[in-house]
Amino acid sequence: MPNQLNAKEYNLFELLSGKFIFNVPDYQRPYSWTENEALTLWDDLINFWKSGEENVADTYFTGSIVLVYSAESPEAEVIDGQQRLTTLSMILSVLRNKSGALKSDIEKCLWQDGIAHMSIPGSPRLNLRERDRAFFENNIAHDGMKELMQIDPVHLDDDAQRLMQNNMKLICNCADELFGDDSKEVDSFITSIFKHCLFVVVSTADSESAFRVFSVLNNRGLSLLPSDIIKAHIIGGISTSKRDFLLINGKI
């Protein structure tokens, strides 16, 4: 029986606070968005909010996300969409301390609470590649923005972390300039993007199917390089065990 491919629409709050725990596998390229891409996303969201989002028919299509996912577990392997997911998490992280009534809703989109009596620990909603995972968890999923701003970029481990730090500073400056200390306006903006920013999530339990979808979708954001397409075809065509072996040995 062929593997079933599912496509479903989610708004931003449903996507980030719902059934998924997003994991970016180590063979994916690192976070790569520069100020240009981060600012474009920020400006698009702000312009949508200012355009009169109270009409519930108005929506903003934020993009598509491709996952390897099975309903038996919340763990979802992100094949495409990590740049948007990471940058949206940074936007929410910055606005968390500017919000009035919606801080707890924002927290739900950044952190999955554990279950103490079952010894299940809490975890970030989004887990980046192993090299950048702790950095993202400590500085973005958790409220470590003040500490992050004080780190000399030369002391960060890689370019991905420097890009995240720089984009956090950019978003923080934009939010300060636009909102100041007006928490009601912040909450209005957050409500708007939570309700009306839509994603199409394409998921399958089969890695090969997911990589095929990834290779043909024309997503918004940072364009795929030819090498990314080729890599997707190659990785998607090999078995999970072989892919894990190549990953462990640094071959992909």
So where are the chain's domains?
A: 6-248
pLDDT of residue 242: 54
Question: How far apart are alpha carbons 19 and 36 in whole angstroms?
Answer: 31
pTM, two decimals, is: 0.81
| pLDDT reported for residue 70 | 85
Query: Residue 244 and residue 25: Cα distance in Å, rounded?
Result: 10
What pLDDT shows up at residue 203?
87
By the 8 A CB rule, do 174 and 98 touch?
no
Model pLDDT, residue 175:
97
**How large is the greatest C-alpha to C-alpha distance in the chain, in angstroms?**
56
pLDDT tens across the length of the chain (252 residues) = 456 788 899 999 999 998 899 999 888 889 999 999 999 999 999 999 998 745 545 789 998 899 988 888 889 999 989 999 999 999 999 999 999 999 999 999 999 887 666 666 778 999 999 999 999 999 999 887 888 999 999 999 999 999 999 999 999 999 999 999 999 999 999 999 999 999 999 888 876 666 666 665 544 444 444 444 434 444 445 555 554 454 444 444
